[in-house]
Structure formats: structure tokens, C-alpha cells
Amino acid sequence: MAHPSDNYLTHTRGIKSWLLTLDHKRIGIMYLVTILGAFLLAGIFALLIRTELLTPGQTIVTADTYNRLFTLHGAIMIFLFVIPGIPSALGNFVLPLQLGAKDVAFPRLNLFSYYLFVFGAALMVLSIIVGGVDTGWTFYTPYSTDKARAGVIPVLTGVFLLGFSSIFTGLNFIVSIHKLRAPGMGWFRMPLFLWGLYATAIMQILATPVLGITLLLLIVERVLGVGIFDPGLGGDPVLFQHFFWFYSHPAVYIMVLPAMGVISELVSVHSHKHIFSYKMIAWSSVAIAVFSFFVWGHHMFVSGQSAMANMIFSALTFSVAIPTAVKVFNWLATMFRGAITLTTPMCYAVAFLSLFAIGGLTGMFLGSLATNVHVTDTYFVVAHFHFTMVPVGVAFIGGLYHWWPKITGRMYSEKWGRIGCAVFVAGFYVTFVTQFIMGTHGMPRRSYHYLPEFTALHQMSSAGALAMATGLFIAAGTFIHSLVKGLPAAANPWGGASFEWQCPSPPPHDNFTETPPAGDPYDMSDWEYHPEIRGYVRKT
Amino acid sequence: MKRPARAQRRTRPFAKAPSLSPAEMQRRTEMALLGMKVFLISLSILFTASLAGYLAVRARAAQWPPAGAPPLPKGLWASTIILLLSSGAMQRALAEARNAGSSHLRAWLATTLALGAAFLVSQVWNWRVLIAQQMTMRSSLYALTFYCLTALHGLHVIGGLVGLSLVLSRAFRGLYSPAFHLGVRLMAIYWHFLDVVWLVLFAAMFLMA
Ligand code: HEM
Ligand SMILES: [Cu+2]
């Protein structure tokens, strides 16, 4: 390290130098802190939900409060954790580094997006709580047009601001990837994380405006009392669902594509093996992005849309599984005969694969009309989307462990990292496999009450949730311990070949003194391990 | 702690930055142009979705316009013509900015601004004509969609006017040269975009009536 004391953390000091920073690394960290705070909050609500479900009927909260709790839990998890998590926090930090650039294309816009995010988040959370909003994160009409729910308008405004933030971040990433790639880095020499972020960014700018207009219409409808969506006023609730899911199905891939990008990095680097079939992974991201715009109707199979529409949407839904499976096979092939080290990031990557496979496969059950009608609006759906969205969180944590040495300049305890992961994943299976079973037996979602025969399964599910929380607290403990006592990290602790491993840990303010030579980001054969620095050095 | 002046400058792309090489200038211009295009793609989705909503509502209606509702005012023609003229003026401004030795940039920018404002006045006039005929936002979906779409477009025009004022003030401060007039270029792209959006809305709501 040339100037060990001068890095982006020490470059300038004082709270103002953080709050007004234009440095993508600091903005990434501010997102990270905000998003982890939201995650904690939503996690607490989840535990409250699971506590309420320990017994049939009222356990700790009334039916109304229960509805607010799941609304808070869902809305915060989706809009403040799973959607922004990887792109805004990890992406902001890593993207310019992987490109070999000094910053994103528009640093001011980046900071502006962050503040939009903070204001939107605060507005949304506070008004759900104060205004007693209990519509669920989907804001279905007529729940959301019912005048009794006073907080709906500020909540929608909050989500609207979050959408803006999301669009600006996407725009920033697209332009950065187009224009700031280091000399010699062609499109197919980008790390796959960047492909994931790129495909995501495209979807952010194409899908989010639809959410924006939907929310605006909802606001107009509430203010003026003219029926657009509300059947009581002569509106069409199915129209709302079309609008909503036209955004929200692509949004599930806005959530998962960055996670897949992270997994591509983790699997290759921690298997010390070249990623298998780079191009297939890159193109499958794009294919997923394209397909996902044509399947929104699978959320509406029982809404009364025509049988023809149902059949078309069902068939299209199946097609999304193809590029997803392509990715999974490529990851497995990458690991096959690799020199796998079961580091904590790798444990999370394996956890992602095992969970997401189940999530995707149960999506096929839901995409088939006959089974869908049986299990829609039951805990089967709840389990399905947790098996798809929690892996996004898993990839986020795995990525955080992977880049943690880069971000902080410190190593963490592998032992406790692995234990945390194992406890979390075990808890997850207990929590949600039981919900699949309950769903197939007809346990409806979004209800605080249930038939007594579900009691045992619900209690198991709650016990699993407690284990998940424990796993996460262990993970948090490893991070805090690392900040306080962690050993200094080498520039390249894992032996990765992409650019971010070729600048010091933590990186200097300007990232690179000179841009490293662009090569194959997955050719790790040039790097050899030096135990004395606990890191890899390029062979000379 | 003293501010890192160089770093500050590094991240302020388009102020006069003498330290920037022409290549760097070029790269930043490209970035800004691409950024604007991506932004407009996103905006066009916003308007497309609004239009789709409008068409969906209209397709469900038994009768359009509903019985007793007034037809949309002829004044929309005036708005359309004014906006087209303003696009022309913007294009002239851009040509002036590109052309060394010409001094009409400010005049044409000011003309664009004035025509843009006139467009808004004309739109408000059209609203007033309808309101005088007892057609308010609450009257029907026919009324609501008309007011909403024109308001949505109008808000973007207002945003454009803010941008135009900034560009104009920079033009007065002499910050544009034939070699470097990125602000004018970005403004022109945005302005023409709003023009096209209006033509589509006009065709969908008025001509297809
Ligand atoms: C990639 C990650 C995925 C995420 C984040 C995700 C998320 C969700 C969510 C949130 C719901 C619940 C909607 C609601 O009722 O509130 C849902 C339902 C559904 N998902 Fe997924 N999903 C993913 C992947 C898939 C895949 C790969 C398929 C099929 C190939 C699929 C098919 C379905 C279907 C058909 C439903 C509708 C269930 C119903 O009738 O309510 N999903 N998904
Ligand atoms: Cu979907």
C-alpha cells in the first residue's frame, strides 16, 4: 500500500464530509447503513407477526394491528431492503471499482438519489404507522381507496419518491457502464455482477414509471373520489392489478438479478475457477429482463381475467424458468471440480442456490393454472415468495462478507460467519417449508386467525423465525467484531481477478492511482497466495 | 478540515473546467447525452403508461365523450401550434449555439421560453373553457383523464421552463461556445421530446374523439 493512512474513509473527516460526499464509496456505505436499519425494522415486525401466530385468534395484537404489521413488514422489506439493497449499497460501492473508474457517471445525481431514498423511506414508514395503513404492500383497491385509511396518500407519495430514487440510480449505472469502462474492457470482459446491475438498471428505468403513474392515479382517485379503480365508484379494480403487476413482476427481477450477479462473483472467486460459460450467464440476465415484462398476469389468475389471458400468461411464465435454470446450471458447473473454499461468502452462495431452486420450482406450481387456483392466496404463495426473496437477502449478506474486507479493510471471523449462515438457513427451512405444507392444506395468507389444526405447524414456523433472527444476530456480531478487532485485510484476500481486488483495502479516495490492465475478470491463474499478508499477489 | 478542491472539481462535470482535456470534455458530453436519452426513455414509459390507462378507460366507456359532456376545446389547436413554434425556436437556438460568430442564441432561447410559457397559458385557457361549461375533474372519467394528462404534460413543461431559464442565464453569462454548449443541446432534446409527447396526446384525445 502506497499511503496506508490515506483511504476513502480517512480522506476527509467530519459528519459533513459524509453527508455531502460525492464519493460513490461513501454513498454506498450510507445506503448500507440505511438499508440495514430498514432490514432490522422489518425483521422486528416479522417476529411480531410470528409471535401473533403462535396461537389461533388473538395472541398479542388485534386483527387490525396484525394487518398493519404485515403491511409494514412487507412494504419495508420490499421497497427498502430487497429492491434497493444490492444495487444501491453494494452496487454503488463496487460498480465503479469493477469498472476501473473513479466514480459513477453522475456523482451529484447519486447523492440526490440517496436523499430521495431517505425521505421516501421516512415518509413511507412513518405514515404507515401513524396513518394505520393496512392494505398490504400491494395497495390493492378498494382497500387503498377506502377513505378510512387516512395514511394511504403519504405512503404512496413515499413509494413514489423511492421510485424516483430507483430510476436515477438505474440511469447512473447505465451511463457509467456504457461510458466508464476501463480501456480494454469490452462488454464481455465486465464482471458478471455488472451485467446483473445493468439488466436491473434497464428494468428500473422501464418499469418504475408504470408504478409511478399507478400511484398517482390512486392518489387522484382518493382525492377526487372519481372511480378509476374502486368498483364502488364505478372503477375497475382489475385495471389496478394490471398496472401494479406490470411494475411489480419485473420488480421481482429488479430484486433478483443483482443477487444473481453477486452469486456469479462469489461462486467463481471462492471456487477459484473460471466462471462457466460467461456469455450464457450474461445473456440470460438480459433474457430474464425481457421475459419478465410479459408475465405479470400470473398474479391475476383468479382476478377474473379471461381464460385466454390466463393460458397465455401461464405459458409465458414457464418460459422465464429457462434462463433462470441456465444460470443455476452454470453456477453448478463453475463449482464442479473447482478448488472450493467454504468461506462465509461461499456458504451464503450455496445457501442461495439451494433456496432459490425451491423458490423457482414452486413458481412453476403457481404458474400452472390448475394448481394456482388451489393454492393462491394461501401460505403456499407466502412460502414461494420467501423462497425467492430471502435468497436475495442471502446474496446481499454473502456479497457483504465478500466485499467487507474491501469496504472496511478488515477481516471477519470465518468460523462465526459460517455458524451464523448455517443457523439462519436452518431456521429458514423450518419457517417456510412448514408454510408450504400449511398452504397446500388451505391456510389463507394475511390472516391473524386460523383453524386449531394448524397450530403445531404455525408454532414450528415461529420457532424457525427465531432461529433465523439468531443467525442474523450472529452475522451482525461478526461484522461488529471485525470493525473493532478484525485483522487488517489484504488488497486481494480471495484471489479474485476483477479490478476491485487490485486497489488497496480500503480503496483510496480516487480508487486507482493507475487503471489496472483489463483482462479476463475470471482468470485467476495469475494470482498466488501469500500467507504472511493473508492475501493474493499477482505473480511476477 | 479543508475541502479537497481538485476532487470537488473532478465531480462537477460541466462548469468551466480549464483543467479538463478535450478528450475528457468529450467523454463527459457523451455521458450527459446518454443520460438524457435514458431519462427520456424512462419518461416515455411514464407517458405511454398514462396513455394506456386512458385508452383502457375509454375502451370500457359506453359512450365517449359521455352524454352531455362538452367536446374538447378548439383552443387545443392553438396550444399545439404554439408548442410546435417553440420547438422550432429551440432548434434555431441550438443552431445559433453551434455557429461561431452568431449572437442570436439568447434571443432564440428567450423566444423558446416565451412560447413555452404561452403554451401553458393556452392550456390553462382551455381548462377554463371547459370549466365554464361545467366540466370539472370530478364530472366524469372523460374529464378526469383529460385534466390529468394535460396536467402531467404541463408539469413537465414547467420543468422544462425552469431548465430553459437556467440555460438562458448561462447564455447571458457567456458560458456557451460553439465547441461547448452541452446545456443547450440537452435542453433541445428534452424540449423536442415534450413536443412529440404532446402531439401524441393531442392525437389520442382530440383527433381520435
Ligand atoms: C425471481 C424471484 C421471484 C420473486 C421475488 C417472486 C415473488 C413473488 C411474489 C411476491 C409473489 C406474491 C404475489 C402476491 O400475491 O402478493 C409471487 C407470486 C407468484 N410467483 Fe413469484 N417470484 C419469483 C420467481 C418466480 C418464478 C421463477 C415464477 C415462475 C416461473 C414465479 C411465479 C409466481 C406466480 C405464478 C405467482 C402467483 C401466485 C398467486 O396466485 O398469487 N415466481 N412471486
Ligand atoms: Cu410475478
Find the CATH number of the domain harbouring A192.
1.20.210.10
CA–centroid distance, B48 to ligand 2, in Å, is 21
pLDDT computed for residue B101 by the predictor: 62
The residue-averaged pLDDT of A360-387 equals 94
C-beta contacts of A127-132 below 8 A and 24+ residues apart: A127/A151, A127/A154, A127/A155, A127/A158, A128/A68, A128/A71, A128/A72, A128/A75, A128/A155, A129/A68, A129/A72, A131/A155, A132/A64, A132/A68
How far is ligand 1, taken at its centre, from the CA of residue B109, in Å? 51
Query: Considering just the CA atoms, what is the radius of gyration of chain A in Å?
Result: 23
Distance from CA of A105 to the nearest CA of B (A): 7
Q: Mean per-residue pLDDT for B91-102?
A: 84
**Count of Cβ atoms closer than 10 Å to residue B42 Cβ:** 21
pLDDT (mean) for B188-203: 96
Predicted TM-score (pTM) of the model is 0.91
**Predicted complex ipTM:** 0.89
Q: Which among B4, B42, B141 is the nearest to A205, CB-wise?
A: B42
Q: What is residue A232's predicted lDDT score, i.e. its pLDDT?
A: 85
Best of A175, A181, A296, A515 to substitute, by most chain B Cβ atoms within 10 angstroms, is: A175
Q: What is the mean pLDDT of residues A185-191?
A: 93
Whole-number pLDDT of residue A266:
97
pLDDT category of residue A3 using cuts at 50, 70 and 90: very low
CA B104 to chain A, closest CA, distance in angstroms equals 31
Q: Is A9 part of a structural domain of the chain?
A: no
pLDDT band for position B85 (50/70/90)? very high
Evaluate if residue A56 carries a pLDDT over 60. yes
Is A5 part of any domain? no
pLDDT at A515: 80
Contact of A82 with A255, CB cutoff 8 Å: yes
Q: Which three cell numbers stand for residue A13?
A: 473527516
Q: A82-96, A353-367, A468-482, B4-18: lowest mean pLDDT where? A: B4-18
List the single range of A83-92, A244-253, B1-10, B146-155 with lowest mean pLDDT. B1-10
The answer to whether A174 contacts B38, with C-beta atoms less than 8 Å apart, is yes
Report the pLDDT value the prediction gives residue B14, as an integer from 0 to 100: 40
Residue A222 within any structural domain of the chain: yes
Q: What is the pLDDT of residues A315-339, one digit of tens each?
A: 999 998 899 999 999 999 999 999 9
Q: What is the mean pLDDT of residues A124-144?
A: 88
pLDDT at residue B7 tops 50 = no
Q: Where are the domains of chain B?
A: 22-61+81-207
The structural domain count of chain A equals 1
- Which band of pLDDT confidence, cut at 50, 70 and 90, is reported for residue B119? very high
Residue B132, chain A, CB below 8 Å: the answer is no
Does residue A4 belong to any structural domain of this protein?
no
In this structure, is residue A490 part of a structural domain? yes
| Integer Cα distance of A486 and A463 in angstroms | 32
Helix axes A152-179, A107-131, angle to 10 degrees: 160
- Residue B3 at interface with chain A, using a CB cutoff of 8 Å: yes
Q: Is residue A261 part of a domain?
A: yes
> What's the CA dihedral at A402, A404, A407, A411 to 10 degrees?
-120
Assess if residue A123 is contained within a domain: yes
A4: pLDDT confidence band, cut at 50, 70 and 90? low
Q: Which CATH class is domain B22-61+81-207?
A: mainly alpha
